[in-house]
Amino acid sequence: MLISGLMSLGGSDGAGRDTWISAFLVVILAVPMYYIYFYPLKSFKNKDIFQIHDIIYGEKVGFIISLIYILTVGLVFVVSFARYSVFVKTVALEKTPILIIAIFMIITVIYACVCGFETVARFSEIVIYLIVIFLVFTLVVAYSTVNTENLQPILESGIQPVFKGMFSIFASPYLESFALISLFSNVYDRNKVPKVLVVSTVISALVIGVAFLRNLLILGNEATQSFYYPSYQAISLITFGSFFQRQEVTVSATFLIADIIRLSVFSIFITKGINYFLRKRELVRTSVVIIIGLGLVSVYFLGNTIKVFTFIDMYKRIIFIPLVILPCITALISLIKIKERN
């Protein structure tokens, strides 16, 4: 979930040359936030996030809160879907209509969603090895392409831009993982979740930080910030003799597979939420309608790079309210309720 956001991370995240420092420091924000996400699930055993909202806010307010979350995750789905379909069209399939790319992505996500959360989780267990292997490989062979001069001066404009960059990276992909953590009500052993959250956040911060650093060292500061997909461009320059060239094709394929996992998690969350409201247990029809609907909305409204990346700047601010403020309130009320109960 976290690392698959890597390919779409742009270069202009507010911190300029020091974005890699922001990417490492984001752990400070992400770990407590994830614990806040998980706290209500831990406190109310055998309840999912929508049931918990009903318990702590009452039915009417709980419905509104759940609806806000569903709409937010829907927005995250739309943005992620657009980001990847536009990525494929821009870098590889220029003459293919974006709708065709979207249709095949929709079919794949529906299939993953219908297979269920466990299948998606097991699939991602395989994909993570591929991603890490590719990342390590590209780092090793990039040694002849990097220019260490690009790193300096560090903290040119002070620490403030680093914090700005930290919040930008925190918004995407870290806050977007709300949907995944909310589905942890399905896991067998909830006690292991905090450890999993810390370890995965540290690993992803390392991977994303190193990727930012690699982009900067290869492309330089200005180009890293100009490119929509700096990771793709940086990897395209890495060659190992005359045999290993243009590795960005394999890397982008791997990241696309990872994105399918990401989109599947968002759709499972939305499907579960809508099913809860409609008091249904039917998964297939609901998810098919949701994925097709959101996929088409995504392509219609955010069908090119300018639209997507202009919207992302605004979107990163929008999701702070539902994905930071509301979970904090929910966790606080859960804490009070638990204390009252005891």
Q: Which letter, b or e, does each residue of 183-211 get, where b requires 16 or more Cβ atoms within 10 Å of its Cβ?
A: bbbeeeeeeebeeebeebbeebbebbbbb
CA distance 322 to 326: 5
Choices 54-62, 134-142, 212-220, 270-278; region in contact with another protein by CB under 8 A: 212-220
Q: Which of 141, 223, 297, 318 binds another protein (CB under 8 A)?
A: 223
Which residue, among 87, 54, 40, 88, has the nearest Cα to 332 in the 3D structure? 40
User: Look-up: residue for tokens 């929508």?
Assistant: 50
Residue ranges in 239-258 that form contacts with another protein under rule CB under 8 A: 239
CB of 167 to another protein, least distance (A): 24
Question: DSSP alpha helices (H): ranges in the chain?
Answer: 19-25, 27-43, 49-57, 59-91, 98-115, 117-141, 160-169, 178-182, 193-219, 221-226, 230-236, 248-278, 284-301, 305-318, 320, 326-341
Q: Is 90 in the site for another protein (CB under 8 A)?
A: yes
Choices 31-39, 58-66, 118-126, 219-227; region in contact with another protein by CB under 8 A: 219-227
Q: Which of 8, 215, 231, 233 binds another protein (CB under 8 A)?
A: 233
Q: Is 310 in the site for another protein (CB under 8 A)?
A: no
Question: CB-wise, 27 or 105, nearer to another protein?
Answer: 105
Contact mark string toward another protein, 134..163, x via CB under 8 A = -------------x-xx-xx--x-------
Q: Which of 68, 92, 202, 283 binds another protein (CB under 8 A)?
A: 92
CA distance 54 to 203: 35
Question: How many other β-carbons are positioned within 10 Å of the β-carbon of residue 110?
Answer: 21
Give the tokens for residue 269. 């969350």
Choices 97-105, 109-117, 122-130, 334-342; region in contact with another protein by CB under 8 A: 97-105
Is the bond into 173 cis (omega within 30 degrees of 0)?
yes
DSSP conformation class of 243 = T
CA distance 339 to 98: 53
Q: Is 331 in the site for another protein (CB under 8 A)?
A: no
CB of 196 to another protein, least distance (A): 33
Choices 3-11, 135-143, 218-226, 331-339; region in contact with another protein by CB under 8 A: 218-226
Residue count, binding to another protein (CB under 8 A): 31
Contact mark string toward another protein, 37..76, x via CB under 8 A = ----------------------------------------
Question: How many other β-carbons are positioned within 10 Å of the β-carbon of residue 133?
Answer: 11
The footprint of another protein (CB under 8 A) covers 88, 90-97, 100-101, 103-104, 147, 149-150, 152-153, 156, 218-223, 226-227, 233, 236-237, 239
